[in-house]
Structure 1
Amino acid sequence: MDIKEIQNLIKFVAKSGASEVKLEMDDIKITIRTGSEDRGDSTTYVQQIPMNQPVAQVLPVAAPAAAVAEAEPSDEDSKYITIKSPIIGTFYRKPSPDKPMFVEVGSSIGEGDVLCVIEAMKLFNEIESEISGKIVKILVDDSSPVQFDQPLFLVDPS
């Protein structure tokens, strides 16, 4: 995790209104405190934990960014656009358990259509499409945790 990702995380936590967030990954512990009564600034502690063995993968943690990006080049998926998660949270395909799914494979979508909901810190964030097209593949199971920038949908823009 680099300093830019930590700064983005601090901004995200400050905007969320949470008073304290603790994040522990394999080799890093981060505690972010905001809005304390004694002082108006935020405090961040970053602690590097010594590792006995190398870490295979460190998942990025950052604030929301662009939700749509070009798909990674592969033979059959190169013509599709990947819609990625703008935040960390829990992915839901429907607005509530008794409601129908937002989109299915084969659904036509337009700009501004709600594709899913991601719950982050007890807030349900509607993820809207920034493109028009047809859903080709749903890459995440309902009620699954998602990371920042994780691919969620493949869309055929044609």
Structure 2
Amino acid sequence: MNTKDIQQLIDFISQSGLDEVNIETTDLKISVKRYGAAAPATPVSAPAPVASAPAAPVSAPAAQPQVATATPAVVAAPKADTSNYVTIKSPMIGTFYRSSNPETPAFVEIGDSVSEGKVVCIIEAMKLFNEIESEVSGRIVKVLVENATPVEYDQPLFLVEPN
């Protein structure tokens, strides 16, 4: 990794919701911490270990084109009053996944009941898979993001009708 790659990594981290990132390869070890920043409002479980592949700069997900395809789980219901719903938002920049791998069912579907602390999705950021947990107990009313698409910090992911 050269100085430019490291600077791009630091810039990416400063734009994300991450407060700390550790990258370790066979010939390189980097630890980046952000001081003075508040922790994300959504509780996140401990990140998975970094893969042993060499670190590469990651371009901002916003620069990637987004293809809009309708899937039954994401199709919007008729316009309704959403003022009584709670929004689960992304605590970081990354790629949104509804399940832990393509062969397993989604963590939550529309109509499922969730309790506070239940995993509702995963967001991958720089090869780290972060479980995103529900902040509220209730029923999933709408999935606002399609599977395997980039998400921004504070982007709404789910609408929940609180209990």
Q: What TM-score comes out, normalization by structure 1 length?
A: 0.60
- Structure 1: where are the runs of 5+ without partners? 1-5, 20-33, 43-61, 69-73
Structure 1 residues 14 and 67: alpha-carbon distance in aligned structure 2, compared to 1, 3 A threshold: closer
Structure 1 residues 91 and 64: alpha-carbon distance in aligned structure 2, compared to 1, 3 A threshold: farther
RMSD: 3.3
Query: Match for 1:17: what amino acid?
Result: N
Instruction: Measure the CA separation in 2 of the matches of 1:76 and 1:83.
Output: 17
- Alpha-carbon contact 2:97-2:123 (below 8 Å) kept: yes
- Post-superposition Cα deviations, 1:18-63, rounded to whole Å, max 9, x if no partner, equal 48xxxxxxxxxxxxxx949xxxx98xxxxxxxxxxxxxxxxxxx98
| Counterpart selection for 2:145 from 131, 140, 145 | 140
- Post-superposition Cα deviations, 1:78-111, rounded to whole Å, max 9, x if no partner, equal 0000000001100000111111110000000001
> Which is richer in strand?
1
Query: Match for 1:88: what amino acid?
Result: I
Instruction: Measure the CA separation in 1 of the matches of 2:112 and 2:140.
Output: 5
| Counterpart selection for 1:122 from 123, 127, 130 | 127
| Counterpart selection for 1:95 from 100, 111, 126 | 100
Identity %: 53
Larger of the two Rg values belongs to structure: 1
Structure 1 residues 63 and 138: alpha-carbon distance in aligned structure 2, compared to 1, 3 A threshold: farther
- Alpha-carbon contact 2:145-2:157 (below 8 Å) kept: yes
1:150 and 2:155 correspond: yes
Q: What TM-score comes out, normalization by structure 2 length?
A: 0.58
Aligned residues: 110
Q: Larger RCO: Structure 1 or Structure 2 (Cα < 8 Å, ≥ 6 residues apart)?
A: 2
- Post-superposition Cα deviations, 1:99-153, rounded to whole Å, max 9, x if no partner, equal 1110000000001110000000001000011210000000000000000000000
Greater than 6 Å deviation, 4+ residue runs? 10-14
